[in-house]
Amino acid sequence: MDRVERESLVRDRVAGRRAAEVRLPSVTDQTDTFARPVARIEPWGTEDLPLLMKLNDPQMTEHVGGPETPEKVVERQSRYEEEDSRQYKIVVEDGGKGIGWVGYWERTWHERPVLEIGWAVLPSFQGRGIAGSATAQLLDKAREDQQLRFVHAFPRIDNGPSNAICRKLGFTLVEEIDFPARQRGFVRCNDWRFDL
């Protein structure tokens, strides 16, 4: 390795980027479970406010601090429907009705920029591998974006399905943390990290 290559590698490491020549297999293709997806993801659309309202019920939001006000949901919808928002609805057939959400965004974590990912699936569609499949597809998109190297998920420690998704998709459990709650205070969460 010559000096220029070495300096470029050091620059990438400092920026948290993976060396350009390292190509990893797609997350979707890594297991048989996701070889034939049970769900697809499509960019969040202008017509998807009713889905966001449904996902905002007390049962669905129990692990993230409870429902938001309708005004907050409308505000969220306007962010989600922007082009390149990186927010997706989950559908079980192409162009079909939305039955869930997955998305990622940037946040500062331990003084570094990282991506954070989240997911939700309507109760009548849960337990069929849909959130796992959709999240695998989203991780592949995040990898294509080549923005930042690490994706974090912060499920509450007692959120069985979300912790199971992180485990089965190959996230690494970093530690338990007190994470700022939506409304106020803190909740005990796991910090899971996926290396894109």
Ligand X SMILES: CC(C)(COP(=O)(O)OP(=O)(O)OC[C@H]1O[C@@H](n2cnc3c(N)ncnc32)[C@H](O)[C@@H]1OP(=O)(O)O)[C@@H](O)C(=O)NCCC(=O)NCCS
For residue 33, the minimal CB distance to ligand X (Å) is 7
For residue 178, give Cα distances in angstroms to 99, 119, 154, 181, 187. 30, 20, 10, 9, 5
Nearer to ligand X, 77 or 137 (CB): 137
Q: How far apart are CA 71 and CA 80, in angstroms?
A: 14
For residue 84, the minimal CB distance to ligand X (Å) is 23
128 binds ligand X (CB under 6 A): yes
Amino acid identity at 97: K
169 binds ligand X (CB under 6 A): no
98 binds ligand X (CB under 6 A): no
Nearer to ligand X, 17 or 161 (CB): 161
For residue 48, give Cα distances in angstroms to 55, 79, 88, 119, 135. 11, 12, 10, 15, 19
Q: How far apart are CA 67 and CA 147, in angstroms?
A: 31
114 binds ligand X (CB under 6 A): no
Edge-to-edge order in the sheet of strand 186-195: 40-43, 87-91, 98-109, 112-121, 150-153, 186-195, 172-180
168 binds ligand X (CB under 6 A): yes
Nearer to ligand X, 77 or 159 (CB): 159
190 binds ligand X (CB under 6 A): no
159 binds ligand X (CB under 6 A): yes
Report which residue's Cβ sits closest to ligand X: 160
Contact residue for ligand X among 52, 64, 138, 169 (CB under 6 A): 64
Nearer to ligand X, 119 or 194 (CB): 119
How many residues are recorded in the chain? 196
Residues that bind ligand X (CB under 6 A): 60, 63-64, 118-121, 126-132, 155, 159-162, 164-165, 168
